[in-house]
Structure 1
């Protein structure tokens, strides 16, 4: 029998986390739901951990690749191995809430091509809440193909997290995926490259994100200053006004962004030389971007933390990042404590 749903996980060196994730999934599997795990040649004990679940449940399958091919291609491979009508592109270190699979299955009515599963964002130890929901909707909502602007504006920040995507497998296969290998957001490229899918958003959060544990965290400057904006601004079927509400075309031109990354250790002389030195900018902008890159990181951290504490207490994820930075000051820790974590 063809499964109704395939939960697809791409993983790499997550032996310390993936067991906790699988514990929240396997207990929710049904006869019409399978779990497909593609391992990009992990060098830790991921294979051993996953092997226990494969041996215990025939609905769990495991594919180990001979070498790493990148997260985008690994998710694409997971979908190619899946047999389900729909594929849920789940992550390898976050948690499903009880009843999540049944709730998603109830949303797959045969007409929808994409379901976006709302998520809550918690600290790395799950002890504190950073965002109650990434999609700010109280009730389920639907989007037609003509609603591309509204879909992007309402869901792009949630879609930066791949685990919220449940997509019709035939829709995925029919789209260009290879063009987005290396973007780190192949799923977003699949959704917005041309006619957007008929979409349903489940308003109630069904996933708990372990914030700050992403494999790409050390590459944050490159990703959020260049890769993500380049992807968002490449979509021809979305208006420039809608794109601008998600991110600036060139956010690296914004001094406050550079200061934040300097504060958390993601921007320094190396990043300036690699990414910004050759970028065209005014003399004033160049001097400012160089000055921030040369600024003592603890001073930048204290300055950013003070600003967040006085004027941006709603920026909980930024406050959390500042407090966990290797350059964190007593100001950062005090602001984080006052925010509840």
Structure 2
């Protein structure tokens, strides 16, 4: 009998997936399976998986003929699973030694949901950016009357899908297709109605590879609209709990909009597509002007602000310098002088 299915979704990550598999496969036991859903990769992913299957015949691989998006592929993975529980696994992050055994231990309590903590590292796993994402350590448990407490505690870590271990029957009872295209189908599933029993484990069982997300070019759409929509439309949670996670839409926060612009995530296209037809009030001229501000000078200014605040190895500063199309010689020089050695975009 399979107790736990580790459900990985991948697409064109041949250069990363092997390291992820190396962190998972040695931890498997006969009642834990690993399956990989490949969303029509065009690189050498099938060959990489084939090499691992020769040594681990229990590794199941499903190659899709067409790509149906990350949300649909995770839903397919759960559908292929044989386990009572499914751990939704990214294709480029790493499990800590003993992580599977720790989750398996928590599943003995028969919860509907388990969330685990993770550290955040740079794309090469050379630098620790954030030692933990949860604000607490230890284990917290939630019952039928703890919906708001659960939402507030879970919100931050749920933005990372690899934290999520869900009972398969809980997943299948939810309207998953409603959340396709959000990039956070798991959040839609969890917040569709509060779980009757949940555990949040404040132990860092994973290492996140930061700055490598495939949805990076769409970060404004995702963080300014998809993510808030999932929070605001959650059912069974109070408005106070929702506001604790999302006090206001990010596009109403000038600091966040400056950050989006400096990262190359916001410009004229995003303004026309997402904001031009909204009721913006006094924010309209500001947001319209922000879309036209030259990106490179703003990038230099944003880099200086991170340096002045000593946030050199915060994920925000790392992403700004490494991932923005506006990264330039001057901003990289500032970053190198401040100690951010991996300053090339």
| TM bin (shorter chain) | over 0.9
Matching residue of 2:301 = 303
Q: In terms of mean alpha carbon deviation, does 263-272 or 240-249 score higher?
A: 240-249
Does residue 44 of structure 1 match 2:43?
yes
**Aligned-pair CA distance for 1:328:** 2.5
Matching residue of 2:146 = 147
**Aligned-pair CA distance for 1:249:** 4.2
Preserved CA contact (<8 Å) 1:128 1:340:
no
Q: Deviations over 1:115-152 (max 9, x none)?
A: 11110011111111111111122211111132121112
Residues 150-299 of structure 1 mapped to structure 2, 5 A cutoff = 150-282=149-281, 284-299=282-297
In the aligned structure 1, how far is the partner of 2:319 from the partner of 2:247?
A: 21
Matching residue of 2:334 = 334
Three-state SS of the structure 2 residue aligned to 1:140 is strand
Three-state SS of the structure 2 residue aligned to 1:313 is coil
In the aligned structure 1, how far is the partner of 2:206 from the partner of 2:317?
A: 22
**Aligned-pair CA distance for 1:102:** 0.8
Q: In terms of mean alpha carbon deviation, does 52-61 or 84-93 score higher?
A: 52-61
Three-state SS of the structure 1 residue aligned to 2:9 is strand
In the aligned structure 2, how far is the partner of 1:315 from the partner of 1:241?
A: 32
Q: Deviations over 1:231-250 (max 9, x none)?
A: 11001311222212212442
Preserved CA contact (<8 Å) 2:137 2:201:
no
Q: In terms of mean alpha carbon deviation, does 80-89 or 192-201 score higher?
A: 192-201
In the aligned structure 2, how far is the partner of 1:131 from the partner of 1:153?
A: 20
When the two chains are superposed, the root-mean-square deviation of aligned CA atoms in Å is 1.8
Three-state SS of the structure 1 residue aligned to 2:13 is coil
In the aligned structure 2, how far is the partner of 1:337 from the partner of 1:24?
A: 35
Which of these residues, 309, 321, 324, is aligned with residue 323 of structure 1?
A: 321
Does residue 28 of structure 1 match 2:24?
no
**Aligned-pair CA distance for 1:302:** 2.1
Three-state SS of the structure 2 residue aligned to 1:244 is helix
TM-score by length of 1: 0.94
**Aligned-pair CA distance for 1:50:** 0.9
Matching residue of 1:93 = 92
In the aligned structure 2, how far is the partner of 1:226 from the partner of 1:214?
A: 18
Unpaired runs of 5+ residues, structure 1, are none
Residues 75-114 of structure 1 mapped to structure 2, 5 A cutoff = 75-114=74-113
**Aligned-pair CA distance for 1:273:** 1.4
Unpaired runs of 5+ residues, structure 2, are none
TM-score by length of 2: 0.93
**Aligned-pair CA distance for 1:313:** 2.8
In the aligned structure 1, how far is the partner of 2:310 from the partner of 2:228?
A: 23
Q: Tell me how many residue pairs correspond in the alignment.
A: 339
Q: Deviations over 1:74-104 (max 9, x none)?
A: 1111111111111110110000111111111
